[in-house]
Amino acid sequence: SSGINAEYGEEIKEWIKEKKGDIKEWIEAKKEAIRERIGDEKFEMLKEWIEEKKEAIKEWIEEKKAEREGDERRPKPHPRPHFKHAIVGKVTVSGVSCDDQGPYLVRYGSKDDDKKEKEAVEGKDGESKRRPSKPRGAFLILVKGCKRPEPEED
């Protein structure tokens, strides 16, 4: 991610295209002001020094990229999950009563996963630390012929 909000990215690109000539003129004017201030010889030395630094920075960036390629500790962005199954619309079930009516929370993974996660997250001093959350979902069961549940007021 470039850090630029996508909404403004195109607007900024367009502005730069429109102002490109103005920006180039401004840069050239600044270069000339520096040349006048420090003289031709020092100005040429400064340009050479800047080019050397540019090359050194490019090399350093390439080295860091190469180092990171094999680094498994570095977090990688996770792709968004593509759901393979979804329930859309109405589902008919049998053998439910009014007691079964209400909201249900869906947790993904097995109970063994929960135990392992809990053990891994507890600190050495016995105090628990913040647990990473698993994806969750919810659904509501409404039973035909039963009074609808009232919303809870806090």
**60/153: higher pLDDT:** 60
pLDDT for residue 50 is more than 60: yes
Do the Cβ atoms of 86 and 131 come closer than 8 Å? no
Give the pLDDT of residue 2: 45
CA distance 113 to 116: 5
Kindly report which listed range (15-19, 37-41, 126-130, 142-146) carries the lowest average pLDDT score. 126-130
Give the pLDDT of residue 96: 87
Give the pLDDT of residue 1: 41
CA distance 143 to 98: 6
CA distance 57 to 59: 5
